[in-house]
Structure 1
Amino acid sequence: MKIKTGLYIGIAIVLIVGGALLAVKGKDAVSQAESRKQGILDAEQKTLLYQNSPGSIVEVGVAVGDSIKQGEVLFKVKSAEEGETDVLAPEDGSVNRIIVKPGDQIQQGMPMAILQKNNFYTDLYIQESEIQKLEVNQSISVHFPYLEHPAEVTGVIASIGVAPQFASLRMSREKGQADLSMFLVRVAMDANADLLPGMTAEVKLDEITD
């Protein structure tokens, strides 16, 4: 009986000491979960507007999903004033949506296509107690944990702002309730062949040193 009691006490001491060490180092499961901030990867988009004289679409030179380079001909438009003119890609990217088709009449300012830029970003909600670790233009590692081979890319903090009111949290305290302030942090990164908009992006705040 005494042996069993001593064994139980020994196990309890090991667990308590081990747990205390993990808590001090911030590597316990709870700390790790709290330090991981996740967002959805998204891509910057640009609406291509027609800028020339009124005319009609003669040719659509690209399809949805095509990669494009700055200066590439996307559309040909024929107008009474200018004859046949080319509408060029304003920057590198890809075609997300085509709004017009051959034969359509088009006026200045009308949308022609929606282009996806070669820039990704993710928005993260960060608590006030953790926001001091971050600043605009700071480089930060972004993980993609759910890929078959988890990837890591380097992002840059593009902006930090107060999160919309609906994102504020309520936390319980012994004396009533108090608001928990949240900040909206946008992390920008270059497009990557392994990444797609909609993937889960994760930042581990415990990797960041003050």
Structure 2
Amino acid sequence: MGILTRQVHSDNLHYPLQQFNLPGATISLWQDWLSAQQASILLAQLQLQLPWTQDSILMFGKTVKIPRKQVWMGEAHCQYRYSATTFTPQPWHPSVQALAQRLSEFLGQPFNCVLLNLYADGQQHMGWHADNERELGHDPAIASVSLGVTRRFELKHRSAAWQLALDLTPGSLLLMAGGCQQHWLHRLPKQSRVSGCRLNLTFRYIKNMA
């Protein structure tokens, strides 16, 4: 099914913005939110300096290794439970914290934690899911920054014949909001011809209930 789009300019620093007209979701894409140089420097820095792990999760009653490496990072209270596994955040890396602050100012909303996923090549992937965990609240806004090689990102409606595929380039910023996590699923599929690595940072907000 076709997707209606519109090209506009953001009021914030005039970054080119592409918005997608979807039922039950607001999807916004800034392809060059970070410059090529900024994206390249940040990728190299985070690859070397973060404590990457290949965690295990529970799927269909079995414990399996996820097909990527990851780091969960943010404020101390931002514990996150996914697939029967509880993740305790690593302390902020200064560059990631600065990126979170920049995002908050740009989008006008807070972010205090981030999931970083490192995909070695196109064989590493993430399956269909929604970021709808209880800790994130009723209608979370998820801001996704991409580094490294361009990868295809796909979304599909939970109950209607709507789909969307995007090529996320290095330095791009994707915002999923407006009911997206309630009504849509998303994934990063395998791409056998992709040989380089991709690092994706998905920023979220978790309330401090203390």
State the TM-score, normalizing by the size of structure 1. Answer: 0.24
Structure with more of its chain in strand, by fraction: 1
Q: Which has the higher contact order (CA 8 A, sep 6+)?
A: 2
State the TM-score, normalizing by the size of structure 2. Answer: 0.24
